């Protein structure tokens, strides 16, 4: 019988067998396991690169998914066979003289780059601390292709450079196009000491490639904090140097929330930037460092396109940059698949200036290497509405959004004009732990979570759920409760598997008998000055918000699974008569999606 290494059981016994096995593995640069057969994209495709000598490294690669196992003795970085954007499976920590076991993970590598194990080396906690998500080569090349004509001498900024994939992609693009660029002066910022060697190697390769194309290439790597250093320069400190100026910037900024009392927040505040995330802080500084006409291509979460917390950033962004192109991915996992990032990302191309174009390009792709990219041209006024004080950035992603926009643009009634408002659920459970109860008891009132949604109605109590079902009604908790009535509830967060972004249901006081009720913080609730709604009006709102046309329209500006009360307030609604008519025809709340869409479409057309 053979073991998983391809040796018989007899061969594996005793010290002599172990010595033989060790020599056989270590003397070979690559051993192809005989049993089981390795997958086509795995170790047999690896090769050693002779141009970057390094101390011998041993890596133990293990994959339950791909069922292949091997030891490698390396004299340099592993690189995949061309084409450069193919998937290569690797994992573990490359450590001098040590064998480290780890599950294989899928990486997209760039030839010669020894940064294949950055994510594994840092680990998830370190990545989250830095907000670090490295850019795959196909994504980097696509970003570089967005740049327009460049000056003869390009001063390039790559802030949060990682292992240099974006600068490398920019260099490849310039060398291949060869459109009058004579020199590239690259400035890079990276604070992670574990990745600086890889970054140095990448920049040396860029020098070699530029030299072969007759282009001068110089680079400066700063291991200092980009926000702290540049904020100081932009603030004009008395003894500080002037901030640098750049003709182009390419960015995959770190993504991490920053607290109000953090050093980053204080630095940004010193230059008049108020934002709650590192990525918007990076972009705010980068746009200030560009010369007039300078170009920025960045990949960021889509979350800045809407929501109240990013409103100051949107105003700042649109006042300093002219949007030329927005690109969306059809899958949330496409841009940073190896990091299991579910945040939806976009790529944008913008030019330093204060006059927005009349039109801009909206494109989309699957995010896979070689995948088809579809492009459409939209008037700028359809992307950022001229009279929208929130400055939401609407991003159409399919042809059906045209119909959705046309329908929604025909509605002019605001929620305030309906005499209604929408609020976030008042009960923050971790602050009221002592008042929560798993089961209803004397002195409690219903507490509703998203888990209590059951089609179009509320299922309460739900004893099999992990969440509490009740909250004590006391003088302390009463301020967090609302009087019983007919309320329309929506989920603030939806999972990526849910078909609709907007999910609404009705709280009917006839079904849940109570004088007071608690809505947990993961819910939004529509109300009339703190009280319930009229039944037909609530049912009409239920149909409207659960319709396909509203869901499609909402996705134009919501790039994440969170539905804020502010987002719902900014929507336009049918007038009260139309909503009452819709509600009056709602014979039940468990209508199919087609039935809801037909009802809503009929009444919206009738009110035009």
| pLDDT at residue 503 is higher than 70 | yes
Average pLDDT of the segment spanning 23-38? 34
**In the structure, what pLDDT confidence band is assigned to residue 369 with cuts at 50, 70 and 90?**
low
SS3 per residue for 539-572:
HHHHHHHCCHHHHHHHHCCCCCCECCHHHHHHCC
pLDDT at 108 over 50: no
Per DSSP, which regions of 405-508 are E strands?
A: 421-424, 436-437, 444-448, 453-454, 457-458, 470-472, 482-483, 487-491, 504-507
Q: Rounded to whole angstroms, how far apart are CA atoms 112 and 519?
A: 56
User: pLDDT tens, 412-449?
Assistant: 899 999 999 999 999 999 999 999 999 999 999 999 99
Q: Is the distance from CB of 495 to CB of 561 less than 8 angstroms?
A: yes
pLDDT value at residue 367: 63
Q: What would the mean pLDDT of 456-463 be, rounded to a whole number?
A: 94
Do the Cβ atoms of 438 and 469 come closer than 8 Å? Answer: yes
E strand map for 109-179: 153-159
pLDDT level of residue 11 (50, 70, 90 thresholds) = very low
Domain ranges (residues) in the chain: 14-112, 137-397, 416-606
CB 305 within 8 A of CB 395: yes
The model's confidence at residue 608, banded by pLDDT at 50, 70 and 90, is low
Q: How far apart (Å, rounded) are the C-alpha atoms in residues 403 and 551?
A: 12
Determine which of 9-13, 22-26, 365-369 has the lowest per-residue pLDDT on average. 22-26
Q: What is the pLDDT of residue 368?
A: 64
pLDDT (0 to 100) of residue 269: 93
Check residue 559 and give its pLDDT: 55
Question: Which pLDDT belongs to residue 401?
Answer: 58
Identify the residue with better confidence: 110 or 220: 220
Going by C-alpha positions, the residue among 282, 262, 407, 332 that lies closest to residue 559 is: 332
> Which residues 6+ apart lie within 8 Å of 275 measured at CB?
258, 268, 281, 284, 310, 312, 313
Stronger pLDDT, 53 or 218, i.e. the higher one: 218
Higher-confidence residue of 32 and 467: namely: 467
How far apart are the C-alpha atoms of 102 and 119, rounded to whole Å? 12
Whole-prediction pTM: 0.63
Domain 416-606 annotated CATH 2.60.120.260: no
Assess contact for 419 and 468: CB atoms under 8 A. Answer: no
Q: Which of 324-333, 527-536, 562-571 has the lowest mean pLDDT?
A: 324-333
Q: What is the pLDDT of residues 157-181, one digit of tens each?
A: 999 999 999 999 999 999 998 678 9
Residues 568-602: tens digit of each pLDDT: 998 999 999 999 999 999 888 888 899 999 999 99
What are 169-215's pLDDT values in tens digits?
Answer: 999 999 998 678 999 999 999 999 989 999 999 999 999 999 999 99
Q: 507-557, pLDDT tens digit by residue? A: 999 999 999 999 999 999 999 999 999 999 999 999 999 999 998 888 766
Q: Domain 137-397, CATH 3.40.50.150 — does that match?
A: yes
How many helices, marked H, and strands, marked E, lie in the chain? Answer: 16, 28
Distance of CA 144 to the CA centre of its chain: 20
Answer yes or no: are the C-beta atoms of 364 and 346 closer than 8 Å: no
CA dist., res. 544 & res. 580, Å (int): 11
Strand segments, DSSP code E, in 142-289 are: 153-159, 183-189, 216-222, 246-251
pLDDT of 576: 96
CATH fold match for the domains 137-397 and 416-606 = no
C-alpha to C-alpha distance for 419 and 448, rounded to whole angstroms: 25
Give the pLDDT score at 588: 85
Tally of CA atoms within 13 A in the half-sphere of 308 that contains its CB: 8
């Amino acid at each position: 019988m053979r073991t998983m290494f391809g040796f018989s059981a007899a061969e594996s016994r005793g010290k002599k067998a172990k010595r033989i096995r060790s020599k056989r593995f270590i003397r070979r640069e690559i051993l192809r396991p005989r049993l089981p057969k390795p997958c086509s994209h795995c170790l047999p495709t690896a090769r050693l690169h002779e141009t970057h000598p390094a101390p011998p490294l041993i890596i133990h690669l293990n994959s339950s998914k791909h069922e292949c196992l091997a030891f490698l003795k390396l004299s340099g970085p592993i690189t995949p066979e061309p084409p450069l954007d193919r998937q290569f499976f690797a994992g573990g920590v490359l450590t001098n003289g040590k064998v480290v076991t780890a599950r294989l993970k899928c990486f997209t590598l760039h030839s010669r780059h020894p940064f294949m194990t950055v994510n594994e080396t840092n680990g998830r906690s370190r990545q989250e601390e830095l907000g670090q998500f490295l850019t795959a080569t196909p994504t980097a090349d696509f970003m570089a292709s967005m740049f327009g004509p460049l000056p003869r001498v390009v001063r390039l900024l790559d802030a949060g450079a990682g292992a240099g994939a974006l600068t490398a992609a920019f260099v490849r693009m310039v060398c291949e196009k060869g459109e009058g660029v004579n020199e590239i002066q690259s400035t890079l910022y990276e604070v992670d000491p574990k990745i600086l060697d890889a970054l140095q190697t990448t920049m040396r390769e860029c020098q070699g490639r530029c030299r072969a194309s007759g282009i001068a290439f110089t680079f400066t790597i700063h291991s200092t904090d980009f926000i702290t250093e540049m904020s100081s320069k932009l603030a004009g400190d008395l003894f500080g140097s002037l901030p640098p100026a750049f003709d182009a910037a390419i960015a995959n900024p770190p993504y991490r929330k920053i607290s109000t009392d953090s050093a980053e927040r204080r630095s940004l505040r010193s230059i008049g930037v108020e934002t709650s995330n590192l990525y918007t802080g990076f972009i705010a500084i980068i746009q200030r460092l560009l010369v007039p006409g300078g170009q920025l291509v960045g990949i960021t979460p889509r979350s800045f396109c809407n929501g109240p917390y990013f409103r100051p950033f949107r105003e700042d962004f649109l006042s300093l940059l002219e949007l030329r192109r927005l690109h969306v991915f059809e899958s949330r996992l496409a841009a940073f698949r190896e990091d299991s990032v579910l945040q939806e990302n976009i790529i944008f191309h913008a030019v330093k200036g204060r006059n927005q174009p009349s039109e801009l390009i909206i494109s989309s792709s699957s995010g896979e290497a070689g995948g088809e990219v579809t492009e459409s041209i939209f008037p700028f006024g359809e992307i950022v509405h001229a009279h929208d004080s929130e400055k939401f950035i609407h991003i159409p992603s399919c042809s059906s959004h045209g119909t959705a926009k046309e329908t929604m643009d025909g509605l002019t009634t605001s929620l305030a004009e309906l005499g209604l408002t929408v609020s976030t659920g008042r009960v923050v459970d971790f602050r009221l732990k002592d008042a929560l109860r798993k089961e209803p008891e004397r002195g409690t009132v219903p507490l509703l979570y998203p888990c209590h949604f059951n089609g179009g109605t509320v299922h309460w109590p739900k004893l099999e759920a992990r969440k509490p079902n009740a909250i004590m009604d006391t003088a302390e908790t009463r301020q967090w409760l609302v009087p019983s009535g007919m309320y329309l509830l929506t989920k603030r967060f939806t999972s990526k598997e849910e078909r609709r972004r907007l999910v609404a249901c009705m709280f009917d006081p006839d079904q849940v008998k109570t004088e007071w009720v608690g809505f947990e913080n993961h819910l939004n609730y529509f109300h009339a000055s703190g009280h319930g709604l009229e039944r037909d009006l609530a049912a009409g709102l239920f149909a409207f918000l659960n319709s396909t046309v509203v869901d499609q329209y909402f996705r134009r500006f919501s790039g994440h699974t969170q539905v804020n009360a502010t987002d719902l307030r900014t929507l336009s609604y049918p007038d009260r008569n139309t909503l009452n008519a819709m509600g009056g025809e709602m014979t039940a709340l468990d209508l199919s999606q087609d039935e809801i869409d037909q009802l809503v479409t009929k009444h919206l057309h009738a009110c035009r």
